[in-house]
Amino acid sequence: MRRPALISAALLVTAALAGPASALSAPALPATPPGPGDAEVGERWDGGTAEHEGTTYSWPDATFSYDGQVCPDLDVPKTDVGGEQTTVTLTAPDGMLISSYCVKAGSTSRGEGPKIVVLDEPVAELEIAYPTGGKLKAISHYAVAYVAAPAQEPGDETATTTPPGTAGPEEDAPASADEPATTDEGEAPEGTDEQPVTLTPTATPAPTDGTAVDAEDVELVADTSDDAAPGVEATPGAVDAPSLAMTGAQVTTLVVAALALVAVGATTIVLVRRRGGSA
C-alpha cells in the first residue's frame, strides 16, 4: 500500500472515532419553530376576535394555518389539554423566552385545526386562546418554541451600596473645621494645657468714719500658672485696712479719764501723809 493511501486511511479512522464523541458533547439546540415559507405552513389566518370574562382575545398578525391534523413538536412537544379549557397560560423557563407556539382547536374541515403563531417580541409568559366565530373554542393541545433570553449587561444593575466614607441619613456629619468649638464658661478648650480660672472679687468693708476707700486700691490676683488644679478659684490679695482718725468725743473721754486718774493719785498721797503724821 502506498503512503498516500495509508495517510487517507488513518484520517478516515480518526474522523470515525472523533465523530461520535463530538456528537455526544455538542449541546442540544432548540427546535426550529415552523414559520412562513415552511412546506407545511399555509397561508395567513385570522379567526377574528372573541370576548370571554371581560377580556377580548384576538390573533396576532403572524398567524398561519398548519398543514396537518396535530401541532408539530417544538421545544415543548405536543401537549394535550383536558376538559373544556379555553385559555392556557404558557411560562418560559429561566433564561428562555417564548418566541412562537402552535395551538389546535376545532376541526380542520371547518378551516380550524392547528395554527402557528409567531410573536413580534419574545415574552416570558403568555396566555393563549383560540377565538373563532365570535367565541373561544376549547383547546385540544399546544406546543411551544423558545429562544434564549438576552444576557443582562453589567451596566443594567443598579448599585445600592453606600460608598465608604459617606455619612448615611441618620449619621451625624463631622463638624466643619471652620466652625469654632463652643465651650461652657469656666471650662478650658480641648487640646490646650491652660486651666480654667474663676475670679471671685472680695467685698471691701465699708469704713466706719465715713472715709471712702478707693476701688483701685483693691487688686485681684489670679493664679494662672500651669500647676494650678482645674476648677481652683484664685483668692484675691489681702487689702490693708486704713488707719482711722480719733474723733472729738474720743479725745474728751481720754482727757477726762486722765484727770480722774490724777485726782485719785493726789487723794491717795494726801491720805497717806495724814496717817503718817498722826502716828
pLDDT tens digit sequence for 31-88: 455 554 454 566 788 888 999 889 999 999 999 988 888 999 999 999 999 888 999 9
Confidence of residue 190 (pLDDT cuts 50, 70, 90): low
CA angle 274, 276, 278 (to 5 degrees): 70
Q: Does residue 104 lie within any of the structural domains?
A: yes
Q: Does residue 7 lie within any of the structural domains?
A: no
pTM above 0.75, yes or no: no
pLDDT at 1 over 50: no
- Asked if 113 and 96 count as a contact pair (C-beta separation under 8 A), the reply is no
141-150 confidence digits (pLDDT tens): 999 999 999 9
Task: Show the domain range for 74.
Answer: 41-148
The cell numbers describing 101, all together, are 407556539
Q: Does residue 273 lie within any of the structural domains?
A: no
Q: Does residue 86 lie within any of the structural domains?
A: yes
Q: Residue 102 has what pLDDT?
A: 95
For the chain, the domain total comes to 1
153-169 confidence digits (pLDDT tens): 766 554 444 444 444 45
pLDDT at 255 over 50: yes
Residue 66: count of CB within 10 angstroms of its CB: 22
